[in-house]
Chains A and B, each alone.
Chain A
């Protein structure tokens, strides 16, 4: 649900990074924060535990500048992936315009990804939404590691909808912007 202000000529979209704990959601935002120009970003806020695990959310506002006289802004959020923070995840999904599902490609995290997608669907349902009507991109992250599932297996397991996907190594900034660009374009198209 974007906020369109015709008086101040601003439009704001909300994009949420979802996915299993330690999958790399916060890493995506950190990379984006580090690479974009100061004039295009606001402060990154992380409500995290001392161990750097997301407790409530990360937040990064990003300005793509004025488009045909409209200041166009994307606000990026991550949710906490750890299972017991579900109440927080639900809150962050409020008013979401686009979703990036960050999957952990490691074989030992295979089941966790499935569980997390199920959880996403449940939480969307509570907001009367479903994954097919919200612009969503699947990001298969940690492709640098040796013990990873093939993309086809991941696709079969968590992407029955054939949602667009990207491959990423978020810690090396690989695939991070491709993912963001892809979901942002989908969000714009759905306007």
Chain B
């Protein structure tokens, strides 16, 4: 298979959340989301109560994908950063190791310049964490873990959920 599953374990997950929380408090942003390029939500910190996260994730990934293609049409490899400005809310998007999309949602209580500076640090940390995660993917240990978690029992149980749901 050309695409490995993206497996994230406790330790990495907490490191990710710590790093994002640091950025959140340093910049006073409302929320920060981490999204896989295929559109799946990985994690979020901050105030996300009013945000439909799943919708947001799929649209942010689509936005990033479409914008990257615009870059390619202009002979750029990709746009490293995307900024959308609203009346109150703004979003700032950047990419980690070409595969993970980081979205900062903020308003006027955040200083854009400062945020961009802090974000650079976060990206360095994320590069390290995800570099690790990607290196581990497809290792025998991870494959075993996947097998041990998603056993035939799991598959049977999931199938019976599907039968119940869809008749």
Contacts and interface: CB of A to CB of B under 8 A. Distances in A.
A157 interface: no
A128 B2 contact: yes
A42 B51 CA distance: 12
A8 B162 contact: no
Given A42-B55, A94-B65, A188-B158, A12 B40 contact: yes
B13 A5 contact: yes
B4 interface: yes
A184 to B, nearest CB: 5
Contacts, number: 135
A180 to B, nearest CB: 6
B146 A4 contact: yes
A47 B161 CA distance: 30
Contacts of B161: 64-65, 67, 72
Interface in B37-71: 37-43, 52, 54-55, 58-59, 62, 65-66, 69
A94 B158 contact: no
B109 to A, nearest CB: 28
Interface stretch (A54-62, A99-107, A137-145): A54-62
A6 B8 contact: yes
A68 B154 contact: yes
A64 B165 contact: yes
Interface in A56-103: 56-57, 59, 61, 64-65, 67-68, 70, 72, 75, 77, 87-88, 91-92, 94-96
Contacts of A129: 1-3
Contacts of A121: none
Chain B interface category by residue count: 35 or more
Nearest to B35: A3
Nearest to A12: B40
A2 B3 CA distance: 9
Contacts of A3: 5-6, 8, 36, 38, 40, 42
Interface in A1-26: 1-8, 11-12, 14
B42 to A, nearest CB: 7
Contact of B43 (A8, A40, A91, A189): A8
B10 A91 contact: no
Give 9 closest A-B pairs by Cβ, nearest first.
A95-B38, A7-B13, A128-B2, A1-B3, A177-B166, A91-B65, A61-B54, A3-B40, A67-B158
Interface of B: 1-10, 12-14, 36-43, 52, 54-55, 58-59, 62, 65-66, 69, 145-146, 149-150, 153-155, 157-159, 161-163, 165-167
17 contacts: A3-B36, A5-B42, A6-B149, A12-B40, A45-B58, A45-B59, A56-B62, A59-B39, A75-B40, A88-B66, A95-B3, A95-B37, A95-B38, A96-B38, A185-B162, A189-B155, A191-B146
